Amino acid sequence: MKKILCPTDFSEASNHSIAYAAKLCQEINAELTLFNVQSIFSLPPDEVIKGSFLATEQVREKLDTISYQVMDVFKISCTFEVEASNENLETLIANRGAGYDLIVMGTNGADDYYQFFFGSRSYEVAKKSEVPVLLIPNGYLYQEISLMAFAFDFESELEVPMYQLIDWIETTKCKMIVVQIKDHYDRETEISSQQVIERIKLIHNSTDMLFDTVYSDDVSTAITNYVKKGKVDVLALCSVHHSFISSLFHKSIINKLTATADYPILVFHK
C-alpha cells in the first residue's frame, strides 16, 4: 500500500480525512495525492470555454497550500490533482482511484432522510471503486491501527475474502478478527461454525486468524457495539454479489453503517 488518494471539496469532513490520510501515510511510508473535482455545470460559460482555467487555477492555489502544509507537518510526499468534468462525481473519483492502492474519504454520514436510505456520496464512491475505500467520519482523529474487525458471514459464505485485505494487514501490521452476526444461538450452529473456521484456516494456511460470533437480530447495532466494546480501530465490510433480494439487504447494512458510524470503515469488493 504505497499510493493513497484523498478526494477533497475543502469541507470540514474532507479536511479531517486529509489529516487522517496524511498520518496514515506517515505511519506506512506511503504517498498522498489530494484530488478535487470541479463540475463544469457550476462554472460560468466563459470559464467553460476557456477550459475552466480560472476556476481550476484558484483551486490549484488552494491545494498547493494544503499539500505544502501536509508535507511540512507530516514529512511525506503530497501532490494534488484538479479536474473539471461533467461526469458523475462519484464515478469520476472511483475511476481515478483505480491507479491507487486506497481511497481515503471523509463523510458527514447521512445528511438527510433521502441519503440515509439511498446512500451518501462517500458510500456511492465505495460501491463503484475497484480499490478499497476508507471512510473517515467528520471529527475522527487518527489512532494507530492495531485491530481491525471484519464483519462477514463466514459460516454462510464458507470463506473469508482476504485478497484486498492482505496488503492492508501486512502494511499496518494490525490484528484482524472476523466476526459474524447470528440472530440466535444453538449448539448445532456453533459446531458448524467451528468446522467452517477450521476449513478457512486450512485454506489460508493460518492458525493465527481470529473469529467471533455475536448473537443479535439487529445486525448494524450489533456490529457497532462490537467495534466500541472491542476497541476496534477500523471496521472492514465486503460487498458481496448475491441474489437480488439478499443483495438489497446486504447493501442496506453497509449503507446504514457508513451513514451512522462514528468510526472508520473500510469498504471493499469481493
* Percent of residues, the chain, with pLDDT higher than 70: 84
Kindly report, residue by residue over 85-106, the tens digit of the pLDDT: 777 888 899 999 999 999 999 9
Strand-pair partners of 131: none
Residue 215: count other Cβ atoms within 10 Å of its Cβ. Answer: 13
Largest CA distance in the chain: 71
Compute, in degrees rounded to 10, the torsion defined by CA atoms 150, 104, 269, 217.
Answer: 40
Topology, domain 3-137: Rossmann fold (3.40.50)
CB 258 within 8 A of CB 224: no
CATH class given for the domain over 147-264: alpha beta
Query: At residue 248, does pLDDT exceed 90?
Result: no
Between strands 133-137 and 265-269, the pairing is antiparallel
Between strands 147-151 and 133-137, the pairing is unpaired
What are the residue ranges spanned by the domains of the chain?
Answer: 3-137, 147-264
C-alpha cell, 43: 462554472
C-alpha cell, 267: 469498504
> What average pLDDT is seen over the chain?
83
What's CA 104's distance to the chain center, in Å?
A: 7
Domain 147-264 in the same topology as domain 3-137: yes
Query: At residue 22, does pLDDT exceed 80?
Result: yes
C-alpha cell, 210: 481470529
Kindly report, residue by residue over 117-158, the tens digit of the pLDDT: 444 678 788 888 999 999 999 889 999 999 999 998 888 777
